[in-house]
Amino acid sequence: EAQVTQNPRYLITVTGKKLTVTCSQNMNHEYMSWYRQDPGLGLRQIYYSMNVEATDKGDVPEGYKVSRKEKRNFPLILESPSPNQTSLYFCASSLFPSGVYEQYFGPGTRLTVT
Amino acid sequence: KQEVTQIPAALSVPEGENLVLNCSFTDSAIYNLQWFRQDPGKGLTSLLLIQSSQREQTSGRLNASLDKSSGRSTLYIAASQPGDSATYLCAVRGGATNKLIFGTGTLLAVQP
């Protein structure tokens, strides 16, 4: 089944404790991105990747890192999480970076930082 | 800067009604517009994708239209059912990064 998977689905952590949220897609998509969803603010892009070893900042990249060492995986790294990073996170992918292709979303990761 | 607005923010209708959800955007230079459905605690399910050159797309009881020149899209849901209850999001894609710009959604409740 073609899908985008994220792990973990739920995570509660403490301020400053490094964490990684994994994202994997099995559709051979080149374009992948991360979004966060907050009440009243909607979904905002954190980082995106046009292809392997090609990543760039989105609208709200502060406090996050990403890597794209292989096509299928695009982990989101929080080196020192803070409470304002409590949010619902979504990974997304599309076949190519071109705007004509549909984007597919993972199930989301709900992160709470205390 | 692209801004996407969805009206109304919330909508409650009795089962069986036909309804329209609205989405407006400020910059007509888009590649496409996508409608999503989000259930509580769940991810986003893509409903319809309309390319910038298209006027509408249909899938089952759903019909989405796009008027680029006026910066508007509508999602029409025919014969609504309680299972249609969810938050509906529209998103436009454009610009060099091809990111999606989302509206804040319409929370739909269909009463049995």
pLDDT digit string, tens, across residues A53-84: 999 999 999 999 999 999 999 999 999 999 99
With 70 as the cut, is the pLDDT of residue B95 above it? no
Chain B contact for A62, CB < 8 A?
A: no
pLDDT tens-digit series, residues B49-66: 999 999 999 999 999 999
With 70 as the cut, is the pLDDT of residue B72 above it? yes
First to last CA, chain A: 36
Q: What average pLDDT does the segment B60-84 reach?
A: 96
Chain B contact for A54, CB < 8 A?
A: no
For chain A, the three-class secondary structure string (H helix, E strand, C coil) is CCCEEEECCEEEECCCCCEEEEEEECCCCCEEEEEEEECCCEEEEEEEEEECCEEEECCCCCCCEECCCCCCECCEEECCCCHHHCEEEEEEEECCCCCCCCCEECCCEEEEEC
User: What parts of chain A have a pLDDT lower than 70?
Assistant: 99
A45 and B98 in contact by Cβ < 8 A? Answer: no
The better pLDDT of the pair B29, A99 is held by: B29
Q: Which residue in A has a C-alpha nearest to residue B38's C-alpha?
A: A107
Instruction: Compute the nearest-CA separation of A17 from chain B (Å).
Output: 25
The pLDDT score that the predictor gives to residue B98 is 73
